[in-house]
Structure 1
Amino acid sequence: MPRIALIGGNARPITTAHELGVDVVLVHEEGRYEPDFADYCSRILHAPIGDSAAILEVLRPLHAEQPFDAVLSATEYAAIAAGEVADALGVPGTTARTARALKDKAETRRLLDEHDLSPIRHAMVASEQETADFAESVGGRIVVKPADGVASLHVHVVESREDAATAFKQLREAGYTRAIAEEYLEGPVVSVDTFSHRGRHVVFGMSEYQMNDRFVEWEVSTPSRVAAPHRAELTELVGRLLDVVGLTDGPAHSEFVLTPTGPKVLESHDRFAGSGAPELVRRACGVDLYRMFLAVQLGFEELPQTSPVNDHGAAIRFFTPQPGTLKEITGLDTVDALVLTVPPGEAKGNIVPLLSRTREAEVVVVITRHPGDTLPELRSVKDCSSGYVIATGKDADEATAICERVVDQICFHVE
């Protein structure tokens, strides 16, 4: 039986491993995973998932007893640590070098510049003055964000010296002393989901977003309508991007802005896209990326030669109630959908809990909040934590329309 060490992540890779007969040793943080994970893992070990030394301490004895066939992670928070552990144990997995190249947005830009790929104006900044000077050199709007940020946190649009001062003050208060400043890219944002094996990259999904003014994605749909005219160019660009950063195996989630002069790289990650995107891909074209995550990398199955055809469309839309104290939720008893509720205290920061159970119906509502809960302001993707609707349609337009209709029927009464 193949044996893997899985660092962090959600339930889907674990349940898929169980289906494939793969022995999983899970390393996770206590209280940060769903209780039924224990039903699918031979061992669960507790360690900070971003601390490679702590992870190695708990895994080395088990590796000595029975070597792991791979060390994998499907979450960005553990990507570098998982790479360092795989390198240290000498087993397959994304290398720490590739994980760092994708995690560090400045290093990603450096590599892109080195290969003259999707160049944009950018600079590392360490003060309000440097930020304002860069904005003036660009001659227009810029974006300032942490070089190693995640989940749309602390992203600031700067159009003036006053904006630069405010942005860097907030970055410093959040603990950042340096940030990356980039020219503002005009156009819709789309993502490209790929899977790679031995250096060959295949596109499995192209999605588009609805976002608020803080770049928080509250709706994702696939296949992307706005990306369709650029599909060939995006496919070539994402392959070159993954080659530049050295990613040869496993999933990747790359984001692009469709500017008036063509697609430009926004950023990329050596993981699945968030917001339930792998389930959207499965609903749209029938490909199970979570199964591929193990079956291809462990040699059970071959990576398809070509991208699949989208027979359907799929969408996920998060509930975005006003911040405050939740009094009650109405409309759940009349909505035309399967309704699932996460017990109090079990969401654990996962914005798409119960994702594996959403396969049970074409339209599913997942509620994670209960009366008395405090609902946050929508400042980052992490704040999309009140639940979601996921739906399949004949195309993406129909899927998004279904999600909108269901969301409109459900009311979060907030004080």
Structure 2
Amino acid sequence: MPQLLLSMCPKECICISEEQKVTRCDNAALNDIPALLDPRITSLSMVNCTLKRLDPDVLELYPDLEYLDLSFNKIDMIDMKIFKYQTKLRVLRLKGNQLSSLQLDSFIDLRQLQILDLSTNQLLQLEPSTFSILNNLQKLILSNNLLTKLQSETFVGLKNLQQLDLSNNRLHTIGEHLFDDITTLQSLNLSKNNLSKIGSDTFASLTSLKHLDLSSNSLTDDLSFNGLNSLQYLNISYNLLQRIIASNYRPLSELRELDLSANQMMELATSSFIGLNSLEILRMTNEPYLHSIKPNAFSGLINLRNLNLSSCHILEKIDENAFEYGDRLEILDLSNCRLIRLPQKLAEWTNLKSLHISGNPFHCDCELLSFLPEVLRKFSINITCFTPPWLIRQKYHAAGRLTNIYT
């Protein structure tokens, strides 16, 4: 029997006809799914072939399939009930095809499906209830399509969905009730869209969400995170935020990591992050307009361990009382800013485990040099003095000596 099964394997494929019953035909010049494979196969991969359509008569031959990968082909249509015999299918990958729409009944019999990848297609819209039969779906990938709007019933029925990726589409609005039916969701990626506003109750039903990526949109200060009581990671980098409104972030009591990089903030006001008691990592890199950080800007951040303010090229001043709990910082990156002074009171410098301060035009006066040499020695780093005039372009070494950077 094994020899017979191997003889049924096309020369372009690799067939493993033992317990797993796996067939791989990746990168083969095949226009159709082979009809003479082992009918008991559980896994079929035909990535980067030349498939244009799926033949229901051929698919009928493989009712035991649990894994089907048809990524990077030329499939432009999924017929109604095309997978009606694949009732055991758990993973379906259709990434990188030419799908522009989906039939309402395309997935109607895939009740055991857990992962569906439709990324990198040409989907323009999704009909309401397209996925409603997929009660066991846990991961849905719709990234890199052409979606501009999603109707409120798009995700109805997805009672067990945990991961939803809508990144790199053309979404400009998110309906208030779009996520009402996917209360089990833990990860949501909306990055690289055209979103300009988040409604007050858009995320209200996502009480289990832990990871939210809103980066690379056009969001402004009017944000709402109502309902996100379990959120641990939030990325709002590369948007149009001009200030931090602390009340907007108040529901995020469990937030551990926040990325606000590359926005349009000019300063960090007092108590900007009040209420984020669980925050451990804060990134605000590449802020082109940030010039100052006010007293107690980071007050309330009792668990902050890692702060990255690198490449804020006009950041000149951080108030010495910016931190309420500066002694708890472990990682601090202030590199490539325009800092002239580092207040000794800003942090417990010798308690840090990692420090980056290069690329700043420091004023090497007595105050700075009274504590900085010890810090430089601990981290084996150097700084360059830009003032006073007699120390211009002098590099202060970790060894505690000055040298001209041109020598």
TM-score (norm 1): 0.22
TM-score, structure 2 length as denominator?
0.22
**Normalized per residue, which structure has more strand?**
1
The structure in which a higher percent of residues are helix is 1
Higher gyration radius (CA): 2
